[in-house]
Structure 1
Amino acid sequence: MSIDLNLSLSENFRLKEAIASQTASRLGINNLPNVEQTACIVKVAQHILQPVRNRFGIPFSPSSWFRCLDLNHQIGSKSTSQHTKGQAVDFEVPGISNLEVAKWLEANLSFDQLILEYWNQDEPNAGWIHCSFIDQSSNRGHAKRFDGKHYLTGLEG
């Protein structure tokens, strides 16, 4: 069975963006999701990425989305990462402060975890946004920031 990499996940996002990985390509890792993972990827596209795209009106591609277990291991991430389930995505919106995007997301969307990673108030475009989505009834709505050493409650200190 072949997988259509141009499969539309939402109006502006395709499956090929969810599985894109330079590390996987370089190491020959088959970073393809199964049916359950694909269903989760679709939810992230429809409930997180597309609403962000609609709100800010700026095209963007996620920097990290789905990671098969082998890829996740190769990059040194935790085995419990929601990326391996297709439930998490890392992204930035060009030209918009990551804090501004994260604050809008926190105020307007349902999410499981929202983490402002490596953000620096002196460099508004520093770091990235990590956001996960399970489903409307299971999402915890945890918003925090990561400074490189510690997870801190809330998006701002």
Structure 2
Amino acid sequence: MTTPLTEHFALEELSCTQQRGLDNTPPPTVVAALRETAGRMEEVRRLLGDRVITVSSGYRSPAVNRAVGGAERSAHLSGRAVDFNCYGFGTALEICRAIAASAVAFDQLIQEGTWVHISFAPAMRRQVLTRRGRGYAPGLPS
């Protein structure tokens, strides 16, 4: 049984984890943020031709975030970030290019190699980055 947040996104997919033994249950304030995040992901889905989006990470509890080596102030902790792919649309780079060129509001968009990280933190800076080794470079590769 799933708990729908929007038409195409459920609470369970935006809070799942592969970190066995670690509780990743979002508190009520995070569930509210995940509902907003899911709404913004609906916009991303429409932009990508209404194709299926495969979420690999959404909300992360502090324990899960530490276990995966997430940033100390990661937007995943507040339910405002999603790592995903949209295989029916194209590569992570193609997805990032489409989002960066659109009117979709976001805080950070990162081409992480084989997946896309997008966050919807309140600042909405439209910061676009590409993972380079252990760090990040501004923009996307040409």
TM-score normalised over the length of structure 1: 0.81
Match of 2:58 among 48, 65, 70: 65
Aligned-partner Cα distance in 2 for 1:150–1:77: 13
Match of 1:146 among 131, 138, 141: 131
Match of 2:73 in 1: 80
Say whether residues 1:110 and 2:97 are aligned partners.
Answer: no
Q: Deviations over 1:63-89 (max 9, x none)?
A: 011100011111222221111111111
Match of 1:53 in 2: 45
TM-score normalised over the length of structure 2: 0.89
Equivalent residues of 1:89, 1:130 under 8 A apart: yes
Aligned-partner Cα distance in 1 for 2:130–2:6: 28
Say which SS state the counterpart of residue 18 (structure 1) adopts. Answer: coil
Which protein is richer in helix relative to its size?
1
Q: How does 1:1-157 map to 2 (within 5 A)?
A: 6-23=2-19, 26=20, 28-47=21-40, 49-55=41-47, 56-95=49-88, 96-108=90-102, 109-118=104-113, 127-135=114-122, 138-157=123-142
Code of the residue aligned with 1:41 in structure 2: it is L
How many residues align? The count is: 139
Larger C-alpha radius of gyration, 1 or 2?
A: 1
Q: Deviations over 1:24-66 (max 9, x none)?
A: xx2x22201112211221121111x212222322212200111
Aligned-partner Cα distance in 1 for 2:117–2:68: 16
Aligned-partner Cα distance in 2 for 1:80–1:134: 11
Q: Give the share of equivalent positions with the same residue, in percent.
A: 32
Tell me by how many angstroms 1:111 deviates.
Answer: 0.2
Q: Which runs of 5+ in 1 are unaligned?
A: 119-126
Aligned-partner Cα distance in 1 for 2:54–2:31: 17
User: Which stretch shifts more, 50-59 or 72-81?
Assistant: 50-59
Which protein is richer in strand relative to its size?
2
Q: Which runs of 5+ in 2 are unaligned?
A: none
Aligned-partner Cα distance in 1 for 2:87–2:105: 23
Q: Give 4+ residue runs of structure 1 displaced > 6 Å after superposition.
A: none
